[in-house]
Structure 1
Amino acid sequence: MIAETICAAVSAAGLGIAAVTAYRKRFLTATKIAAFALVPIGLAMTGVVKWVAHTAFSPTAWAGFGVLAIAVVLFLITRAVDRRSGMTRKERRQAAKAQRRDAVAPAASAPSLGAGSKQAAQAADAAQPKGATRQKPDDFSDIEAILKKHGI
């Protein structure tokens, strides 16, 4: 009951200030003041003031406001960190896509050669005549071409 009385008094005072402002030929400013002055009485008439008065003395409501405050602080921290990184959302998405592409082993398509195969290659080079050049077997060139075509 007292909260509604306070709201009515604040609205009356605001409307009085708006009337004085209008008397001074500042109609636009007087209209803004009147609009703001009508807000407290409107809230009191809709029951919001009663709800706020009950909420103000509720420990559960204050705990809820605390949780909301923590959520807002965490959100602001993540926004600040995102901005400090200097990367836009699009750039981060492109970097993640490139990272996914790089996750595939780039040397997986190449045949693995152990120490024994090096010795066999040296022996084959020694067996060939000096003028002939040894060609590498082109085992995976067609597979590599297909993979490159698909961007892998």
Structure 2
Amino acid sequence: MIAETVCAAVSAAGLGIAAITAYRKRFLRATRIAAYSLVPLGLVMTGVVEWVADTAFSPTAWAGFGVLGAAWLLFMTTRAVERRRGVTGKERKAAKASRTEAIAPAASAPSLGQGVRPAARPAASPRAGGSGTSASDDFSDIEAILKKHGI
């Protein structure tokens, strides 16, 4: 009963504000305010407010929300575990059985030894850009950075 009275008062106040806004010749804003102010009255007339008020003060309804929350939590936990695993055990066994060895397994391994450098670099010829540096100078800078970071 109190909720319905409050909603009716809010609607009446909103319609009053809409009338004042229309008096100031802001008709679009007044129409929008009137639409918002009619929503609580419509909810009271359809019985939604009574249902919400009964649900808010019902221990059974809160227990139902708790059960729904627990179900949602279990569902999300199983989804997270599935994503973390990636594939099931049966799928993993089938993939392992069908796996073949690489033709040259060492071919894709990175070289760990020091590369062979020529003793003297050829004279750098200026490029068309006029910078005066050769491509090998650019790569030596990159190589120095990589060595600095241990790569």
Q: TM-score range by the shorter chain?
A: 0.3 to 0.5
Kindly indicate which of the two structures has a greater share of residues assigned to helix.
1
Q: Which has the higher contact order (CA 8 A, sep 6+)?
A: 1
Q: TM-score, normalised by structure 2?
A: 0.47
Q: TM-score, normalised by structure 1?
A: 0.47
